[in-house]
A and B are shown apart, each in its own frame.
Chain A
Amino acid sequence: DAGVIQSPRHEVTEMGQEVTLRCKPISGHNSLFWYRQTMMRGLELLIYFNNNVPIDDSGMPEDRFSAKMPNASFSTLKIQPSEPRDSAVYFCASSQTSGRGTDTQYFGPGTRLTVL
């Protein structure tokens, strides 16, 4: 069974450009999470969706970041315009959420974003 799929695996772009990261969660999972990992700040939750609806986006750093989940099998994280400080590894994770906090999240391989 395929795990969480992310694309692209690597993205190099120039400051000011739009960047779109993509995620396909594990089939049957009803929650999806976007994380950002940097050396300075560690692993940060940006936003999470439950049944395709954004539940908590308090971790989104600023208005340049937006995320969508148009259906149960696809989500995007967009940065417009991108800045060098956005350089990081972005992870998508999914889980079958019971609402009790006991659910295991399964992570994708990540997208390494470099903004020049």
Chain B
Amino acid sequence: AQSVAQPEDQVNVAEGNPLTVKCTYSVSGNPYLFWYVQYPNRGLQFLLKYITGDNLVKGSYGFEAEFNKSQTSFHLKKPSALVSDSALYFCAVSASGSARQLTFGSGTQLTVLP
């Protein structure tokens, strides 16, 4: 079975500061990792994904994520947070041959304070 853990329900950061949203995973086989963002009353929007290759993945809106196989982590990062980044962030995992496709974490509410 595959699973995702987002250990922080809420992350607060000041505008202009770097932000990190944590994610760890558990799968059998090679992991494929995704980050999505959800703004209020909207659907989930794809940010980035890791399939293979470079451990640092760059995505939309200046976000990036680092895949760490030994720590089974895929933390989302941004060097300088904007107030408009405030939203709910979901990490998700799938694995080669996974019949159930994506498994989502519980989500982390990011609040960027002006």
Interface residues of A (CB under 8 A from B): 4, 31, 33, 42-43, 45, 48, 55-56, 58, 91, 93, 95, 97, 100-110, 112
Contacts and interface: CB of A to CB of B under 8 A. Distances in A.
Q: How large is the interface on B (under 10, 10 to 19, 20 to 34, 35 or more residues)?
A: 20 to 34
A38 to B, nearest CB: 11
B73 interface: no
Interface string B29-43: 000101010000111
Contacts of B99: 55-56
12 contacts: A42-B104, A43-B44, A43-B90, A45-B100, A56-B100, A101-B32, A101-B94, A101-B96, A104-B34, A104-B49, A105-B46, A110-B42
B26 interface: no
A109 B32 contact: no
